[in-house]
């Protein structure tokens, strides 16, 4: 119909297409722009890094409307589709309904919800985190899907059974139930240092629905093996925040020790680079058009 593809259709294409896709983490407008500049086709709005960038823990310390406010800056800053880490959905089915409606209003293309309980904690903390009841979580999935106001909105259901030590059978049982409840994709999460349990899952799941993975802990596995396993989407979940921490520490230490900027200038992005990234050229053009005497 000649209209530009919506962000919803764009994310659906990434997740549903048989070829391997990649989502890169961002946590604010600036990092969203950097993801787009690098050439990625979609953004993961991580709960961990969004929280950390506010100085908070990944334990639902930021309210869901504060998350929504950050997402609005990210959506404004980029044309890429955003899959937001919706944690547990911030409550029960009713909280998921309102969350999904608001995400659709703000042009956020999809949400991932995990089968744990509010307030959640990060998957890499502790052992045997309590999981949600399967039927109750299926209610959250159905409520989310029934509340989307764009047909292409994506709901990813995240299975935490392997993370919480409940085993492969439980993971498969849950994936099956969430698929039947209407999830558009299954995120199977693992905290092992190798991808063995991921590959066992994908083999037995046999692509009944698209599979999303987060290889933060099994980072050394070759991407070709994920491709061969038929995985739909890889999330690089936290690496812009982590790299910025390294860079900021180095710069802060240097300036603190030197009491001078001499060593640092030239190693950090220039002020002009900031202007370029946030689009000052567009504002100058607009001033020539709208401001008298420009």
Q: Does 123 bind ligand SPV (CB under 6 A)?
A: yes
Q: Which of residues 160-219 bind ligand SPV (CB under 6 A)?
A: 214, 216
Sole binder of Mg ion in the list 15, 21, 23, 47 (CB under 5 A): 47
| Local structure of 113: helix, strand or coil | strand
State whether residue 85 is helix, strand or coil: strand
Closest distance of CB 25 from Mg ion, Å: 10
Q: Binding partner of residue 214 among Mg ion, ligand SPV, none, CB under 5 to 8 Å per kind?
A: ligand SPV
C-beta of residue 234 within 8 angstroms of C-beta of residue 223: yes
Using the rule CB under 6 A, is 31 a contact of ligand SPV? Answer: no
Rounded least distance, CB 66 to ligand SPV, Å: 15
Angle at 185 (CA atoms; ends 77, 26), nearest 5 degrees:
25
Torsion of CA 139, 144, 147, 149, to 10 degrees: -160
Phi, psi of 281 (to 5 degrees): -60, -40
Q: Are 164 and 131 in contact (CB under 8 A)?
A: yes
Interaction of residue 45 with ligand SPV, rule CB under 6 A: no
Nearest-approach distance from CB 70 to ligand SPV, in angstroms? 13
Choice from 78, 95, 148, 238 touching ligand SPV (CB under 6 A)? 238
Burial class (CB in 10 A: 0-12, 13-18, 19+), 158: buried
Q: Residue 57 Cβ, how far from ligand SPV at the closest point, in Å? A: 11
- Number of other CB atoms surrounding residue 273 within 10 Å: 10
Catalytic status, residue 58: yes
Comparing every residue's Cβ against ligand SPV, the nearest one is 46
Q: Is 42 in the site for Mg ion (CB under 5 A)?
A: no
Site for Mg ion in 82-141 (CB under 5 A): 85
Pairing of strands 211-213, 233-236: parallel
The distance of closest approach from Cβ of residue 159 to ligand SPV in the complex, given in angstroms and rounded to an integer, is 12
- Given 26, 35, 48, 100, the residue binding ligand SPV (CB under 6 A): 48
Crossing angle for the helix pair 168-180 and 134-147, to the nearest 10 degrees: 30
Judged by beta carbon, residue 108 or residue 152, the one nearer Mg ion is: 108
Q: Is 47 in the site for ligand SPV (CB under 6 A)?
A: yes
Binding segment (CB under 6 A) for ligand SPV, from list 41-49, 98-106, 126-134, 278-286: 41-49
Question: Does the protein bind ligand SPV through residue 237 (CB under 6 A)?
Answer: yes
Strand stretches in 51-179, DSSP E: 82-85, 110-114, 154-159
User: Could you tell me where the beta strands, DSSP code E, fall in the chain?
Assistant: 21-26, 43-45, 82-85, 110-114, 154-159, 185-188, 211-213, 233-236
State the residues that interact with Mg ion by CB under 5 A.
47, 85
What does the binding site for ligand SPV look like in residue numbers (CB under 6 A)? 46-48, 85, 122-123, 214, 216, 237-238
- Which positions are catalytic? 58
């Amino acid at each position: 119909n000649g209209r530009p593809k919506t962000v919803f259709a764009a994310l659906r294409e990434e997740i549903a297409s048989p070829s391997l896709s990649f989502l890169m983490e961002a946590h604010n407008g600036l990092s969203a722009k950097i993801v787009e500049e690098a050439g990625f086709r979609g953004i993961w709005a991580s709960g961990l890094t969004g929280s950390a960038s506010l100085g908070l823990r990944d334990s639902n310390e930021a309210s869901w409307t504060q998350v929504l406010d950050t997402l609005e800056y990210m959506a404004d800053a980029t044309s890429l589709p955003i899959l937001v880490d919706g944690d547990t959905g911030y409550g029960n089915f009713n909280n998921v309904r309102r969350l999904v409606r608001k995400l659709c209003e703000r042009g956020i293309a999809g949400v991932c919800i995990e089968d744990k309980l509010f307030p959640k904690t990060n998957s890499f903390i502790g052992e045997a985190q309590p999981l949600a009841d399967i039927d109750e979580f299926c209610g959250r999935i159905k409520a989310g899907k029934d509340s989307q106001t764009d047909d292409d909105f994506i709901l990813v259901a995240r299975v935490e059974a392997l993370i919480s030590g409940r085993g492969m059978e439980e993971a498969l049982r849950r994936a099956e139930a969430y698929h039947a409840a209407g999830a558009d994709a299954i995120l199977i999460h693992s905290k092992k240092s190798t991808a063995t349990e991921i590959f066992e899952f994908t083999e037995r799941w046999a692509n009944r629905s698209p599979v999303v993975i987060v290889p933060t802990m099994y980072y050394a596995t070759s991407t070709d093996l994920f491709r061969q396993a038929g995985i739909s989407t890889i999330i690089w979940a936290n690496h812009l925040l982590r790299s910025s921490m390294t860079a900021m520490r180095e710069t802060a230490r240097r300036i603190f020790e030197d009491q001078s900027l001499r060593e640092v200038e030239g190693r950090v992005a220039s002020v002009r680079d900031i202007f370029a990234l946030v689009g000052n050229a567009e504002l100058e053009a607009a001033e020539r058009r709208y401001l008298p005497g420009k």
